Amino acid sequence: MLADVDLSVQIGALKLPYPTLMASGCYGSGEEFAPLVDLSKLGAIVLKSVTHEPRLGNPMPRLVSTPAGMLNAIGLQNPGIDWYLEHEVAKFADRPCAVIGSVAAFSIDDYVYVTRRLAARAEIAAIELNISCPNVASEGETFACDPQLTRNVVAAVRDVTAKPLIVKLSPNVTDVAAIAVSAEEAGADALAMINTLRGMAIDVHTRKPRLGNVTGGLSGPAIRPVAVLAVYEAAGAVSIPIIGQGGIETLTDALEFFLAGASAIAIGTANFTDPRIPLRIVDELREYLQNRGLGSVREIVGKANVGISSPFQYEGDEG
């Protein structure tokens, strides 16, 4: 009989039994997946983002398969916060796992407004601030691309909720560590990284963009190395937990993120391949830790072995 291992993870005041979150936008409200998999085996579900006003969403096509990944441009289709609070949120009480609300907006006022109203509901365990959606008119991603704007929006939202605040960062920046530091200093409890990479695909026969929105966000295994690096760089600069995400499909992928410094992981696109993947990763992670005599997942967080130089490495040689 192998010793039991502790798979729990702490995100601010929120304790999750498993370190696996379902990434925002990929899992609906969880209801859609309830007949498929046992939701009580998930760490948490991050809901699809909600905005102040209702949003129609982008025209089709909204999804395009690309090598080792997928481009999407859904356009934050959602019913707006009023309708959402009235008709949707009460249903989340039935979910057998934590439910994290996701807030998107185009101004600091709207981030504050939506967060204040959503976070006031008991069904919502934490708030993820989506300041990095690449698929809406230009201003959508601006916040996560500038350390000062990140600081301003996170600080403003911090003032209106005591619930755990997760800030979702964009990879489409020069220095993600500087933005991570801004979010931490402004009061974020955790970081989710990364959102999708901006991308585009063109049908060479019709010469038309393959997405209705022209540009989109790239996800899937194609972006995994970018995400691992972003987590690694941010983990070196902040002390709040990081939820690593970007193309995680297997235990090996998940371990990369833990070793790079993520305290938890989120699974998005892989649910479209096989909805059983999140459960499989948890089972395999437990077995991996047991086999190595490790008591908890925390023992591997940030333990990438990057400090030892080879005898053939010279000063200034980083290649």
Partner 1 sequence: MLDEPLVRDVRVLDRTELAPGVVLIGLYAPHLVMVTKPGQFIMAIPPNGERAATALAIYEAQGERASLLFFVTGSRTRELAELRPGDQLGITGPLGNGFSLPADGAKMPRDVAIVAGGVGIASVLLAAQLLTDRGARVRLFYGARNVDFLIDRDRFADAGCELCCATDDGSFGYRGFITELLAHTPDKPELILACGPTAMLRATAFVACELGVPAQLALEETFGCGVGGCWGCVVPLDRKSPQAPKFPANPKDHDDFVYARICKEGPVFWAHELRW
What is the nearest approach in angstroms of partner 1 to the Cβ of residue 36?
A: 5
Positions that interact with partner 1 (CB under 8 A): 25-28, 32-33, 35-38, 48, 53-57, 60-65, 68, 70, 72, 74, 77-80, 82-83, 87, 221, 249, 269, 271-276
Give catalytic status of residue 133 as yes or no. yes
What is the nearest approach in angstroms of partner 1 to the Cβ of residue 40?
A: 9
Torsion, CA 253, CA 259, CA 264, CA 267, rounded to 10: -10
Pairing of strands 242-245, 190-193: parallel
Beta strand spans in the chain (E): 9-11, 14-16, 20-22, 44-46, 63-66, 69-72, 98-103, 126-130, 165-168, 190-193, 197-200, 202-203, 208-209, 215-219, 242-245, 264-267
What is the nearest approach in angstroms of partner 1 to the Cβ of residue 290?
A: 22
The phi and psi torsions of 128 (rounded to 5 degrees) equal -105, 130
- Of 193 and 277, CB closest to partner 1: 277
C-alpha distances (whole Å) from 278 to each of 124, 274, 284, 299 are 21, 9, 10, 21
- Of 233 and 249, CB closest to partner 1: 249
What is the nearest approach in angstroms of partner 1 to the Cβ of residue 25?
A: 7
- Of 116 and 276, CB closest to partner 1: 276
- What is the Cα–Cα distance from 242 to 232, expressed in whole angstroms? 10
DSSP state of 88: I
Contacts (Cβ under 8 Å, ≥6 apart) of 138:
none
- Of 2 and 68, CB closest to partner 1: 68
- Of 136 and 183, CB closest to partner 1: 136
Choose the catalytic residue: 26, 97, 133, 145.
133
- Of 25 and 209, CB closest to partner 1: 25
Neighbours of 316 (CB within 10 A): 5
Which residue, among 244, 299, 302, has the nearest Cα to 3 in the 3D structure? 299
What is the nearest approach in angstroms of partner 1 to the Cβ of residue 109?
A: 17
What is the nearest approach in angstroms of partner 1 to the Cβ of residue 15?
A: 23
DSSP state of 263: S
- What is the Cα–Cα distance from 46 to 52, expressed in whole angstroms? 18
Name the residues annotated as catalytic: 133
